[in-house]
Amino acid sequence: MAEKSKKGGKKVRVLVGGVFDLLHVGHIHFLSQAKALGDELVVIVAHDETVRKQKRREPVNSAEDRAELLRALKMVDEVYIGAPGTIDYELVKRINPDIIAIGPDQDFSCERLKGELRKHGINAEVIRIPYLYKSDRAKTSKIIRKIIETYCE
């Protein structure tokens, strides 16, 4: 029997994925907006190898540390570490989300992702979360640059 949400229907499970290195206010805004879409928020944290490939840099914090930080946030219900490389569709299938929320700066076509999900038997709705503010207030790359400019010269 499906669990009931606070609103009386089936619990809505929302899934997000990301690096979440140097947790900052932009991450909090994204996670809060994603949680507001449903009852449960599940996060897949990018594997360290994936960070190296996508960001072309070493992660500041390990995947295990990033996962632990996310688990400590009240809006997050579950956290998994993704497989190295690309989207782990088997993990997504096991999580069984109703909604997959994409961050405003994540380089995904929602329609293309939806098509790939369907190919793997995953029927989740895909929603792009907008920036909460007109200009991006926080990005990990900007924070790293500021630290280097301020403290390493």
Please give the structure tokens belonging to residue 73: 């946030």
Per-residue DSSP letter, 4: B
Q: Residue 104 falls within a domain, yes or no?
A: yes
pLDDT at 146: 79
Query: Hey, what amino acid is at 6?
Result: K
pLDDT(76) > 60: yes
Least confident stretch, 7-11, 52-56, 94-98, 100-104: 7-11
- The distance from CA 47 to its chain's CA centroid, rounded to whole angstroms, is 12
pLDDT(5) > 70: no
pLDDT band at 98 (very low <50, low <70, confident <90, very high): very high
Q: Residue 52 falls within a domain, yes or no?
A: yes
Q: Which residue has the tokens 């088997």?
A: 90
Question: Are the beta carbons of 76 and 47 closer than 8 angstroms?
Answer: no
> Taking Cα atoms as reference points, which of 7, 90, 87, 24 lies closest to residue 53?
87
Q: Please state the domain count of the chain.
A: 1
Averaged pLDDT for residues 60-72: 96
Give the domain extent around 132.
Answer: 13-151
**What is the distance between the alpha carbons of residues 148 and 153, in angstroms, rounded to a whole number?**
7
For residue 33, the domain's CATH number is 3.40.50.620
Render pLDDT for 102-138 as a digit per residue (tens, 0 to 9): 988 888 888 999 999 999 999 999 999 987 765 556 7
- Cα angle 126, 74, 2 (rounded to 5 degrees) comes to 55
Mean pLDDT over the full length of the chain: 88
pLDDT band at 147 (very low <50, low <70, confident <90, very high): confident
> Taking Cα atoms as reference points, which of 142, 133, 17 lies closest to residue 86?
17
**What is the distance between the alpha carbons of residues 47 and 50, in angstroms, rounded to a whole number?**
5
Query: What is the three-class DSSP state of 10?
Result: strand
Q: Residue 96 falls within a domain, yes or no?
A: yes
Q: Which residue has the higher pLDDT, 151 or 39?
A: 39
Render pLDDT for 35-55 as a digit per residue (tens, 0 to 9): 999 999 999 999 999 999 988
Q: Residue 94 falls within a domain, yes or no?
A: yes
Question: Are the beta carbons of 70 and 43 closer than 8 angstroms?
Answer: yes
Q: Residue 1 falls within a domain, yes or no?
A: no
Question: Are the beta carbons of 97 and 117 closer than 8 angstroms?
Answer: no
pLDDT at 152: 83
